[in-house]
Amino acid sequence: MLFKMYSRAYQWIMKNTAPLLNWQPPAVINCVGCIEKLAPKLTEESIKKVLIVTDEGIVKAGLLDKMLDSLSEENIIYFIYKGTKANPTTKNIEEAVKVFNEQNCEAVIGFGGGSAIDCAKGTGIAAAKNTTDFKRFKSVLKVRSKLPYLVAVPTTAGTGSEATIAAVITDSETREKYAIIDTKLMPDAAVLDPELLLGLPQDMTAYSGMDALAHAVEAYLNRSNTKQTKMLSEEAVELIYDNLYPSYKNGQDIQLRTNMQRASYFAGKAFTRAYVGNVHAMAHALGAEYNVQHGRTVAVILPYILEEYGEAVHGKLAHLGDIAKVTGTEDSDAVKAEKFISSIKDLNEKMNIGTSFPELKTEDLKKLSAAAYKEANPLYPVPVMFSKADFSQMYKKLMTAESKEG
């Protein structure tokens, strides 16, 4: 009880001091084919050497090509770090910042999904602070120093990393996954070019889109939301319900991809101010332990958590259900909330996301529950706080029948 009171007091203080922080959003370049406009923007900033942080798949797919050509035309020298892994690690950052420092780079471009952008943010921290001891920066407002010029170029529509003040890093030695949250991590510029999403596979379209939905829903339910974050969450939910499944079915539709990029950006802006919650706390622990794909993880967990919250969230979920157009005008709030949760399950089923994790083992429940509890409390202003035992019960619900029997 005392810790719960402390947590709520901590969250109240964070909410009421947040307006004092610098929430300057990135300069957004947003149009079809606008990746070619990044190089002139860097020239305007007098930047002549950049490090591009990405992954092997992005390079092989040729997604960098247009940007590299435009950088060359502007006489901007570039270096590429392509070793980023899903759930980026401190080792990735150590390798990337070595290139940054040795080549005297002036800016970092995170090009790819959330992993690449988070790795780029971590590289910026390492360059600014001259250290790769990231435990120093866990939690909130520990970075403080200005980073090198940072650009985010998302190639998925879901993480919202281009609009957030957070980076999620996995310790290479301990496998601990933790968030670093500081306004210094807000990118200076973001390039939202829907052409970069046209080759996104169906599974990644589904995973990233459901990640955006989880961001919007958790931000909307949290006790630290504001009028602006509520509006952003509502807009994101509407866009996701109108465009995610159609873009899953037809990935070459540029308008659908554009709308999903907008949804991801809006959801990112919402949760960077209003936070995520127990869904992401559980997902981060799972991702660190088993290296499972983050978007798939939050998609599976989300309806279980919403059901567990019960009456505490019926009113807000009912409103989101109305926005998603999955409710009836005569439905009670409880029925509307139930229909909204069912619609999330339906999306997961239609996009072959699944309902459980075969990786989960009974012997890991204590470790996972402790990690989720540590991340969520006291930071996340969730509608219902979970104990370690609560988290353990939630993880059990995510286990396959075979794992439970074993």
Residues of the chain above pLDDT 90, percent = 87
Residue 351, pLDDT > 70, answer: yes
Residue 255, pLDDT > 90, answer: yes
Cis peptide before 194 (omega within 30 of 0): no
**Which whole number is the average pLDDT over 221-243?**
97
**Which whole number is the average pLDDT over 302-330?**
98
pLDDT at residue number 24: 87
pLDDT at residue number 35: 97
Residue 259, pLDDT > 60, answer: yes
- pLDDT band, residue 133 (cuts 50/70/90): confident
Based on its alpha-carbon atoms, the radius of gyration of the chain, rounded to whole angstroms, reads: 20
Task: Count CB atoms within 10 A of the CB of residue 16.
Answer: 10
- pTM score of the predicted model: 0.95
pLDDT at residue number 402: 64
- Alpha-carbon span 303 to 220, nearest angstrom: 15
Cβ pair 47, 75 in contact under 8 A: no
Residue 23, pLDDT > 90, answer: no
- pLDDT band, residue 200 (cuts 50/70/90): very high
- Alpha-carbon span 193 to 190, nearest angstrom: 10
Q: What is the pLDDT of residues 30-69, one digit of tens each?
A: 999 999 999 999 999 999 999 999 999 999 999 999 999 9
pLDDT at residue number 403: 64
Longest Cα pair distance anywhere in the chain, in angstroms?
65
As a whole number, the mean pLDDT across the chain is 95
- pLDDT band, residue 404 (cuts 50/70/90): low
Q: What is the pLDDT of residues 368-383, one digit of tens each?
A: 999 999 999 999 999 9
Cβ pair 183, 165 in contact under 8 A: yes
Residue 401, pLDDT > 80, answer: no
Q: How many CA atoms lie within 13 A of 158 on its CB side?
A: 27
Three-state SS for 140? strand
One-letter amino acid of 281:
A
For 53, list phi and psi in degrees, rounded to 5: -100, 120
pLDDT at residue number 21: 85
Q: What is the pLDDT of residues 276-311, one digit of tens each?
A: 999 999 999 999 899 899 999 999 999 999 999 999
Q: Where are the beta strands (DSSP E) in 49-197?
A: 49-53, 77-81, 107-112, 139-140, 149-154, 166-170, 177-181, 189-192
Provide the terminal-to-terminal Cα distance of the chain, rounded to the nearest Å.
Answer: 35
**Which whole number is the average pLDDT over 171-180?**
87
Residue 406, pLDDT > 60, answer: no
- pLDDT band, residue 140 (cuts 50/70/90): confident
Q: What is the pLDDT of residues 73-121, one digit of tens each?
A: 999 999 999 999 888 999 999 999 999 999 999 999 999 999 999 999 9
